[in-house]
Amino acid sequence: MSRVLVTGAAGFIGSRIAEFLRAADHEVVGVDALIPAAHPVDAGLPDGVHRVDVADHEAIVALLDGVDVVCHQAAMVGAGVDASDAPRYARENDFGTARLLAAMFDAGCARLVLASSMVVYGAGRFLDADGTPVHPVGDRRPEDLRAGTFEHLRDGQPLRWTLTDEDTPFAPSTSYAASKCAQEHYARAWSEQTGGSVVALRYHNVYGPWMPRDTPYAGVASVFRSRLAAGLAPLVFEDGGQMRDFVHVDDVAQANGCAIDATDADGFRALNVCSGTPISIGTVARLLSEATGGPVPEITGGFRLGDVRHVVADPRRAQEHIGFRAMIPPDEGIARFASEPLRRSAGQAPAGMSGKVTSNRLPESRLDATIDPEWASTRP
């Protein structure tokens, strides 16, 4: 068994990974900086977790003594409030990762499992009317969105989504996405420079118990949950037909375990972590409403410039390379999630409509009253 340093070990995903690894008889050393966007104000540290920032070089080098592999989960996540968040993403994600990699080099630790994200792809892969693969970037025009045309168009014809594999080019559309691309670039460069091994796990929409709530950095599933808990209908952007892959946090923990146990890991490898079962955002809202007996979701017709229409993962490479296959189908897991606990963070929802939500149905004067300020990304 391995000695594993897990960063972000008190967080939503990191804590589940640490629990999974301990159950598999790995020795876990946990660190977490308890950033407010992800943790309650009065959050305590779980047993075996040190309050350390990954950018603290000396502290991390000391904790890396005897460590075989680093499982790097610490990050600021989500689409955030607006472009003013960019320095925070750069500091928490990019600078923190660069410092961690330098500490690993100094400590002689040569294996990294990196939490990456589907957001690196931007818009996923599509097929045009002739069945030719395309990767659309920036072709959802504001005038089309305002008219209620949400699909990508080429020559006036809608594109059809297809599975997004790991060879899809990077096309970040938010500061968070740019920071995840940078993390992968730093990790790849570190691997080339040191001969170290990196497995970058590109999480798709992660959900499950103790997911953060009441923050603009939370995921859409927890936003729907929060509204239902308040007796309010979930608010669904566009027409609800946005296709995604929702993967349960327990499957994400299993994927990390598979990556840590992989014996053929060499150089840099990126893998999708997903359920393998596409599901629409509207269906996620409906499943949660039905499971809680709450109000029927409201399709708002609203949109955010920069949001992507469809990103649906190809799961095959993760099964081929590390033997990972998700065990929890989204319909079952989301119904179960409807009654599971959430965590309240110290992060505050935006007071107004920063990261502007636009609607093709609602007059501008009604937006603040109608679109809940707890909006969040449909990304992990």
Report the catalytic residues: 176
How many Cα atoms sit within 13 Å of 35 on the Cβ side? 21
Is residue 120 within 8 Å of 172, Cβ to Cβ?
yes
Secondary structure class of 194 (helix, strand, coil): helix
- The upper half-sphere exposure of residue 44, i.e. CA atoms within 13 Å in the direction of its Cβ, equals 3
Distance between CA 356 and CA 368 in Å, rounded? Answer: 10
Q: How far apart, in Å, do the first and last CA atoms of the chain sit?
A: 30
- List all residues 6 or more positions away from 32 whose beta carbon is below 8 Å from its beta carbon: 7, 8, 9, 10, 11, 14, 39, 45, 49, 50, 51, 52, 74
Cα 149–Cα 215–Cα 89 angle in degrees, nearest 5: 85
Alpha helices in 71-174 (DSSP H): 86-89, 96-107, 142-146
| 32's tokens | 């977490």
CA distance 244 to 229: 24
